[in-house]
């Protein structure tokens, strides 16, 4: 069964990237620290055909587009290999340059029970997220987050986020577990830790903001984050 939540390792002409991806209802929604990946899929027997568009959400120029352009479209086909899915294809913008990827499932047992969403709650969809560490400390994360009926699935090139929330009347609150899917050796705050985060904030039709307390190892941190809606789910 292809539907689920995955970490992804991909290669384009020898360059390597990583991301997370949610698959369901014919849609593929995910991304990493700088780009959102938004697409569709069709199944025919064991074969899966995908078309995925890459959209930049982080303006930092140090995050370079592997394709040489921020907006690129992937056409690929894949098949299961045990619990994994392996894909091969190419970008429309770079014909003849081979693309391949491996999608590894993040088990459903780790995904928490969804919270409740009432009128005026946060909108279901794929969001970009920018997390800042407060109290004068340097650090933070950028990534993507799928909010869907009280459940949080998201991540970036090194971490995945799993959580739940309740929302109504322009306010929301919840909890997130931040875990490494690929070692983050250069991250002195979140790297090497399973980080529990409790948050509360406000939401509207365009996005949401929150303030949070995180426990990284024995260290307690205050965080702030802003979410911007990129695609409704």
Identical fold, 4-105 and 111-232:
yes
Fold of 111-232: Lipocalin (2.40.128)
**What mean pLDDT, rounded, does the chain reach?**
94
Tokens coding 114: 């969804």
Comparing 7-16, 18-27, 110-119, the range with the smallest average pLDDT is: 110-119
- Average pLDDT in the 67-72 region? 94
- CB within 8 Å of 147: residues ≥ 6 apart: 122, 123, 124, 125, 127, 165, 227, 233
Percent of the chain with pLDDT over 70: 98
For residue 178, CA distances in Å to 29, 56, 139 come to: 19, 22, 15
Own/partner pairs, 80-85, CB within 8 angstroms, 24+ separation: 80/2, 80/46, 85/2, 85/6, 85/48
Domain layout of the chain by residue ranges: 4-105, 111-232
What would the pLDDT profile of 111-149 be if each residue is shown by its tens digit? 667 788 999 999 999 999 999 999 888 888 999 999 999
- Average pLDDT in the 196-222 region? 94
Tokens coding 69: 């352009």
What pLDDT does 108 receive?
Answer: 60
What pLDDT does 107 receive?
Answer: 73
pTM: 0.94
What pLDDT does 113 receive?
Answer: 72
Beta bridge partners of residue 73, listed in sequence order: 53
Asked if CATH classification 3.90.1510.10 holds for the domain at 4-105, the reply, yes or no, is no
């Amino acid at each position: 069964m292809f539907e689920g939540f995955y970490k992804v390792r991909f290669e384009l002409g020898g360059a390597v990237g990583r991301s997370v991806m949610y698959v369901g209802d014919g849609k593929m929604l995910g991304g990493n620290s700088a780009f959102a990946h938004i697409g569709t899929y069709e199944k025919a027997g064991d074969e899966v055909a995908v078309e995925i568009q890459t959209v930049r959400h982080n303006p930092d120029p140090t995050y370079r587009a592997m394709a040489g352009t921020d907006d690129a479209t992937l056409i690929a086909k894949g098949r299961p290999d045990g619990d994994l899915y392996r894909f091969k294809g190419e970008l429309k913008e770079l014909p003849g340059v081979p693309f391949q990827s491996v999608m590894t499932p993040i088990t459903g047992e780790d995904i928490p029970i969804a919270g409740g969403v009432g009128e005026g709650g946060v909108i279901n969809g794929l969001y970009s997220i920018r997390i800042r560490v407060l109290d004068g400390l340097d650090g933070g994360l950028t990534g993507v987050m799928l909010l869907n009926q009280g459940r949080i699935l998201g991540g970036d090139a090194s971490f995945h986020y799993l959580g739940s929330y309740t929302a109504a009347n322009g306010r929301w609150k919840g909890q997130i577990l931040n875990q490494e899917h690929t070692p983050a050796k250069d991250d002195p705050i979140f790297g090497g830790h399973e980080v529990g985060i409790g948050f509360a904030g406000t939401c509207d039709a365009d996005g949401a903001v929150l303030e949070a307390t995180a426990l990284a190892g024995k260290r307690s941190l205050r965080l702030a984050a802003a979410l911007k809606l990129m695609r409704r789910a």
